[in-house]
Structure 1
Amino acid sequence: MSNAPVLPDKPKRRGLLVGVIAAIAVVIVVVVAVVLSTRDDTATTAASGGGEAQTVTIGVADKSLPYWSTYTELAKSKLNVDVELVNFSDYTLPNPALEQGELDLNQFQHIQYLANYNVEAGDDLQPIGATAVYPLPLYSLTAKSASELPADAKVAIPNDAINEARGLLVLQEAGLVTLKDGGTAFSTTNDIESGKVEVVPVSADQTASALQSGSVAAAIVNNNYATAAKLPTDDIIVQDDAKSAAAAPYVNIFTARKADATNETYLQLAQLWHDPAVQEVFLQDNPTAIVEDTPAADLQAELTEVEADAKAAKGK
């Protein structure tokens, strides 16, 4: 038997090693979870339009109507877009403003008006979304029907080329004038062959005031101006049929520069107009409007056809 001292056994390191490995594994799992979570949050933010909001400027002619408040709120919450509305009282201004880059979009006109503008200005603005067709009404504060208007009564109509023609067609339908060859979408007062009334062209934004001041016995008043003037629908004595096939060129539209016709944000903004929350408010102020949700490609095809008609009518 040896007399050497007995040394204690070396400590077992296996348990320590396992513990260290386990701790490292936990750290790795936590780091991976954090990375994946960050990636998920980034993806969610991108999908919901998070980050800095994009600003889009839209020219309109009825900014004061409540449905635009609903629309701009939804644009912010759903698309992360700050919509800035610019109101125009003169129809001749929003298209040049769009062409010159002062606006990103406008929403005030129908295809027939845009076609005439493009032909006259040599421009190529494009429709990217439909809104509604508005009947074009003849209002009177004194007569209950067109037949009650006295002979030689003064009747105001918008003096811009396309609304003038459409207004004349309404008057012809009411039996108040007769137009050369039955009239067209490009007729002017020079095409009046006979008439019971005196037709007075004035700026579209003055038709309602001309009626309310008593300077005319009746007036063709576009929807936005009639709404702004609070003209009651009971004062409408005749209007065209917004549901007819002939009304197709009169669908109102969101319009963009040709280079922006496929811009995804702009297309989403055009479609947002049809959101049920927007429509609920819109139809309260526009109960006679016929809402249309025509695809952009179909609107652009319609524009091409109407532009060809416009060129032919103008000998271009």
Structure 2
Amino acid sequence: MRASRFIAAAAAATLALTGLTACSNESTSTSATGTAEGENVTVRIGTTDADQQAWSVFADLAEQEGITLDIVQFSDYPPVNEALAQGELDLNKFQHILYLAKYNASSGNDLKVVGSTEIYPLALFWKDHTSLDGIEGSEIAIPNDDSNQGRAINVLVQAGLVTLKDGADELAPTPADIDAAASKVSVVPVDASQTPSAYKEGRPAIINNSWLDRAGIEPSEAIFQDDPASEQGEPYINVFASRAEDVDNPTYVKLAELWHDASVAEAVQKDSRGTAVEVERPKNELNDILERLEQNQK
């Protein structure tokens, strides 16, 4: 695709070895301050899923608006925000608001939300079952990482299977916050990559989208999922992020708007096998959520 220059395999290998940002060419991208008539700008944007069809559609659409996307693929999450904070990227799109809030709180940096994209429901799977019937007394495998553990517990809360103790952190509960005596199931935190194995062994498991795809599990097999429209879902809205001084950059704002074009939305649905739920929220509301989550981390 002519509008994007994707990272080469050798560069990806270098990234894995050094932990630093790898760029798809040696030149520095032009920081976009606007797109005047006939002016072309290049925006360097970092992600962890550049191979998805939506990126190709998005880049072609951006090119029609005079914006060339230099898409930088990362193999892991942690370096992406740091690369943005250090000015090696102009934007990134790989994370939800809670992940961004935790990064800001721990790093002391001040990245902001330029626009929203989608939310991906987190779901409970139980092999050869189509409902929650009979699940009482089960041990449910949940991902143990910071991004998904609290949300997984809240999936079980919404399903009526788990009760939290009084005073528990309702946004990001831990297994210690579960009132075992009042709950119908127990949880077993495991590495997210192991949740499909638990499912295939016949145990109920909460599995996020990336591992569903790798394990060949159909999203339609879920027996319960959280509600993307609920207040509990707000932290998990995926976003475009920039440095604070660039949050109103008209080119970046334009890109966030273009992501909601019907052609991109169609590609997102194909990439996610129909699980993505589009979210369009005002930028000020998204940054209010970010600030609230950051305060919760302190």
1:68 CA drift (Å): 1.5
The reply on whether 1:200 has 2:171 as its aligned counterpart is: no
The reply on whether 1:155 has 2:141 as its aligned counterpart is: yes
**Equivalent residue, structure 2, for 1:176:** 161
The structure 1 segments of at least 4 consecutive aligned residues displaced by more than 6 Å after TM superposition are none
Amino acid in structure 2 at the alignment position of 1:54: T
1:197 CA drift (Å): 4.3
Aligned 8 A contact 2:114 2:239 in 1? yes
Distance in structure 2 (CA, Å) of the matches to 1:135 and 1:210: 20
> What SS does structure 1 have at the residue aligned with 2:148?
helix
> What SS does structure 2 have at the residue aligned with 1:231?
coil
The structure 2 residue matched to 1:269, chosen from 255, 278, 298, is 255
Amino acid in structure 1 at the alignment position of 2:103: Y
Amino acid in structure 2 at the alignment position of 1:174: A
The structure 2 residue matched to 1:308, chosen from 284, 295, 298, is 295
Aligned 8 A contact 2:43 2:91 in 1? no
> What SS does structure 1 have at the residue aligned with 2:176?
helix
Shift in alpha-carbon separation, 1:143–1:289, aligned structure 2, 3 A: same
Structure 2: tracts of 5 or more residues without a match = 1-34
TM-score, with structure 2 as normaliser: 0.76
Structure 1: tracts of 5 or more residues without a match = 1-44, 312-316
**Structure 1 or 2: more helix by fraction:** 1
Distance in structure 2 (CA, Å) of the matches to 1:111 and 1:66: 23
Shift in alpha-carbon separation, 1:192–1:212, aligned structure 2, 3 A: closer
- Residue deviations 1:80-101 (CA, integer Å, cap 9, x gap): 313314144x444432333234
Q: How many residues are paired up?
A: 260
Shift in alpha-carbon separation, 1:55–1:119, aligned structure 2, 3 A: closer
1:196 CA drift (Å): 4.7
Shift in alpha-carbon separation, 1:95–1:142, aligned structure 2, 3 A: farther
> What SS does structure 2 have at the residue aligned with 1:243?
coil
The reply on whether 1:58 has 2:46 as its aligned counterpart is: yes
- Residue deviations 1:157-187 (CA, integer Å, cap 9, x gap): 2421x42111111122334333222651121
**Equivalent residue, structure 1, for 2:13:** none
**Equivalent residue, structure 2, for 1:221:** 207
Shift in alpha-carbon separation, 1:80–1:108, aligned structure 2, 3 A: closer
> What SS does structure 2 have at the residue aligned with 1:83?
strand
**Equivalent residue, structure 2, for 1:35:** none
- Residue deviations 1:182-214 (CA, integer Å, cap 9, x gap): 65112112212215545233344x155434653
Query: Aligned ranges for residues 1-316 of structure 1 at < 5 Å?
Result: 47-50=37-40, 54-60=42-48, 62-88=49-75, 90-149=76-135, 151-160=137-146, 162-181=147-166, 183-194=169-180, 195-204=183-192, 206-207=193-194, 209-211=196-198, 214=201, 217-286=203-272, 287-311=274-298
TM-score, with structure 1 as normaliser: 0.72
Aligned Cα RMSD in Å? 2.7
Aligned 8 A contact 1:75 1:81 in 2? yes
**Equivalent residue, structure 1, for 2:9:** none
